[in-house]
């Protein structure tokens, strides 16, 4: 056994090692090779929280360039985001990577721009640079045949992706599709049925327990499985667990310690990384303690493990992360700075400390956006705050976003509606109603009808019966 590192700062030189998964990697690489030759494939990667789905997908994304392919990644777990959020991320990434040269000259391209209006070429706008609204004939057509218009949107996106992939094959990763909005799931099903002759590989990850809990998601996943190759991920073996610890920590502890950790974690990589980090920080990994197994209660105790790791952070860092957890799994530096009231330098120092601790990472392709490394970290920070504190923070976030997005409120209606709704009863109900209704109107404009129903329902619930005009507003909203 080699000499252990002196402190946690020396730990995890290879912060999140990919251990094992040889069979799965071979199958995914074969799928990518098929896509390069024009035989589109879809893969479903499932497993429990922390089992390594995102890590395996990230490894494939890194390898994509060696196949001549470009990888685009979209996260689905953002309940505050607008409809079609995963696909908006995909379209944005594709357009930005192609330098906006991939605008397809095909019928229906105007509806694609409705998803990403900020990227619409100047030629698609009027002379003032403002995007021109659709003409009356288009509006009338949508009113007559909403399902036909949604088909037009879906078909346009498929053609856009297929055309783009002829120049360079595409690997599209949709992470955590169990958390996607209903309209995004319908589009996923549509895309999956139109890949066979495309230079596209689609990889969707999800948690099995979450799929089983939602009939809507289960139905879509069931349909996808008819088109897809299914790869379930399970925990690492004890030998793989030993390799994980050695590669992560840079040295190998005593066999009884490895065995205790394996039994407690069932080889779950996320649980492994959390518990090993904690043991390093507490100076216990290098000691072969007979009672170690009794003190490791994973997965029931994974949140306690996370809490103990958070307690090792300086108080300003922890407070920064608590604020960020209310914003969402992803959060922007400017928003957290406005909430905290901290100067830029101390806040950056706190975020760097969180990154060094492996709790937060930077979002690729964004200058000032960050993301919690795992949903359980964000969930633990969020859930440990009293409900009244969370609601007050949601209200403060909504008000902060209103100020930050004063000139572009229309493109942030969904997130404003979400935070105001989460702030009830502290939030003014007229704001909840107005933003939910306006976000529903925007959802209708991009044919996200399921999302529109949800938002209109939220608007109805926010109406106060005693307010003047409430019954008229209720009738109009219900209609």
**How confident is the model over 316-327, as pLDDT tens digits?**
899 899 999 999
Distance (Å, whole) CA 169 – CA 195: 12
Residues 6+ apart with CB under 8 A from 390: 326, 382, 422
The one-character DSSP state at 435 is: H
Query: What does each C-alpha distance from 66 to 90, 161, 166, 168 come to in angstroms?
Result: 21, 20, 17, 12
Is 43 in contact with 228 (CB distance < 8 Å)? yes
Q: Give the residue carrying structure tokens 């492996």.
A: 358
pLDDT category, 213, cuts 50, 70, 90?
confident
Least confident of 223-232, 251-260, 276-285, 343-352: 276-285
pLDDT at 468: 62
46-66: per-residue pLDDT in tens? 988 888 898 899 899 988 888
Least confident of 78-87, 202-211, 240-249, 300-309: 300-309
The one-character DSSP state at 411 is: G
Q: List the structure tokens of 177.
A: 């599709």
pLDDT: which is higher, 285 or 330: 330
Nearest to residue 20, comparing CAs of 228, 235, 190, 188? 235
pLDDT at 201: 94
Is 340 in contact with 323 (CB distance < 8 Å)? yes
In our burial notation (b when 16+ CB lie closer than 10 A, e otherwise), range 225-255 reads eebbeebebebbeeebbbbbbbbbbbbbbee
Query: What does each C-alpha distance from 19 to 1, 33, 297 come to in angstroms?
Result: 20, 22, 23
Residues 6+ apart with CB under 8 A from 101: none
Nearest to residue 279, comparing CAs of 238, 48, 260? 260
Query: What is the end-to-end Cα distance of the chain in Å, rounded?
Result: 71
Residue 452 has pLDDT above 70, yes or no: yes
Q: List the structure tokens of 227.
A: 């088109």
pLDDT at 83: 86
| Domain 22-232 = CATH 3.40.50.300 | yes
Rg (CA), the chain: 24
Query: What does each C-alpha distance from 176 to 48, 50, 57, 185 come to in angstroms?
Result: 11, 12, 11, 11
Give me the torsion for CA of 299, 305, 306, 312, rounded to 10°: -170
Residues 6+ apart with CB under 8 A from 186: 154, 220, 450
Which residues make beta-bridge pairs with 369? 332
pLDDT at 57: 92
Share of the chain above pLDDT 90, in %: 21
Distance (Å, whole) CA 294 – CA 432: 48
pLDDT at 289: 59
Which residues make beta-bridge pairs with 174? 74, 204
Cβ contacts of 404-409, under 8 Å, gap ≥ 24: 404/334, 404/335, 404/338
pLDDT at 465: 62
Nearest to residue 421, comparing CAs of 404, 436, 402? 436
pLDDT at 56: 92
pLDDT at 120: 65
Burial class (CB in 10 A: 0-12, 13-18, 19+), 29: middle
pLDDT at 139: 47
Q: What sign does the CA torsion over 456, 224, 158, 173 have?
A: positive
Q: Give the residue carrying structure tokens 């958390």.
A: 179
Is 64 in contact with 167 (CB distance < 8 Å)? no
pLDDT: which is higher, 140 or 88: 88
* Rounded average pLDDT over 415-427: 91
Query: What does each C-alpha distance from 323 to 168, 318, 383, 412, 414 come to in angstroms?
Result: 41, 9, 12, 20, 20
32-41: per-residue pLDDT in tens? 999 999 999 9
Q: Considering the chain, what is the average pLDDT of its residues?
A: 81
Q: List the structure tokens of 411.
A: 């493109």
Distance (Å, whole) CA 460 – CA 116: 28
pLDDT at 133: 45
pTM score of the predicted model:
0.76
Q: Give the residue carrying structure tokens 């970290």.
A: 377
Which residues make beta-bridge pairs with 203? 43, 173
Nearest to residue 449, comparing CAs of 111, 105, 146? 146
Residues 6+ apart with CB under 8 A from 128: none
Task: Give me the phi and psi of 53, to 5 degrees please.
Answer: -65, -50
Query: What residues does each domain of the chain span?
Result: 8-17+236-310, 22-232, 402-479
Q: Give the residue carrying structure tokens 């209109």.
A: 456
pLDDT at 230: 92
């Amino acid at each position: 056994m080699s000499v252990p590192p002196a402190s946690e700062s020396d730990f995890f030189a290879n912060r999140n090692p990919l251990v094992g998964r040889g069979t799965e990697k071979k199958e995914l690489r074969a799928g990518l090779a098929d896509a390069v030759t024009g035989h589109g494939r879809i893969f479903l990667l499932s497993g429990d929280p922390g089992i390594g789905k995102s890590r395996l997908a990230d490894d494939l994304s890194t390898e994509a360039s060696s196949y001549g392919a470009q990888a685009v990644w979209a996260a689905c777990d953002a309940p505050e985001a607008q409809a079609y959020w995963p696909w908006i991320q995909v379209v944005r990434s594709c357009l930005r990577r192609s330098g906006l040269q991939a605008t397809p000259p095909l019928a229906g391209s105007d509806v694609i721009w409705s998803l990403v209006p900020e990227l619409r070429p100047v030629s698609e706008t009027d002379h003032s640079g403002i995007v021109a609204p659709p003409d009356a004939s288009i509006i009338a057509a949508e009113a007559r045949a909403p399902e036909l218009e949604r088909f037009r949107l879906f078909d346009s996106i498929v053609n856009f992706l297929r055309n783009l992939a002829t120049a360079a094959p595409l690997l599209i990763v949709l992470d955590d599709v169990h958390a996607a909005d209903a309209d995004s799931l319908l589009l996923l099903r549509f895309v999956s049925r139109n890949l066979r002759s495309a230079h596209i590989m689609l990889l969707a990850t999800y948690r099995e327990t979450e799929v089983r809990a939602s009939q809507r998601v289960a139905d879509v996943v069931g349909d996808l499985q008819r088109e897809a190759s299914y790869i379930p991920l399970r925990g690492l073996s004890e030998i793989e667990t030993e390799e994980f610890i050695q590669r992560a920590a840079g040295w190998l502890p005593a066999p009884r310690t490895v065995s205790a950790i394996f039994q407690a974690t069932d080889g779950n990589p996320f649980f492994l990384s959390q518990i090993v980090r904690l043991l390093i920080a507490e100076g216990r990994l290098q000691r072969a303690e007979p009672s170690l197994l009794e003190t490791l209660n994973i997965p029931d105790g994974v949140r306690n493990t996370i809490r103990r790791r958070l307690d090792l952070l300086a108080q300003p860092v922890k407070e920064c992360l608590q604020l960020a957890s209310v914003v969402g799994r992803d959060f922007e530096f400017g928003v957290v700075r406005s909430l905290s009231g901290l100067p830029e330098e101390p806040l950056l120092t706190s975020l760097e400390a969180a990154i060094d601790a492996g709790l937060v990472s930077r979002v690729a392709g964004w200058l000032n956006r960050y993301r919690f490394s795992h949903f359980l970290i964000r969930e633990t920070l969020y859930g440990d705050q009293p409900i009244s504190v969370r609601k007050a923070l949601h209200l403060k976030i909504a008000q902060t976003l209103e100020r930050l997005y004063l000139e572009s409120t229309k493109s942030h209606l969904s997130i404003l509606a979400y935070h105001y709704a989460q702030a009830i009863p502290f939030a003014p109900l007229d704001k909840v109603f107005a933003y939910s209704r306006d976000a529903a109107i925007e959802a209708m404009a991009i044919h996200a009808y399921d999302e529109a129903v949800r938002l209109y329902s939220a608007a109805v619930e926010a109406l106060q019966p005693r307010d003047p005009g409430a019954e008229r507003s209720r009738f109009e909203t219900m209609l």
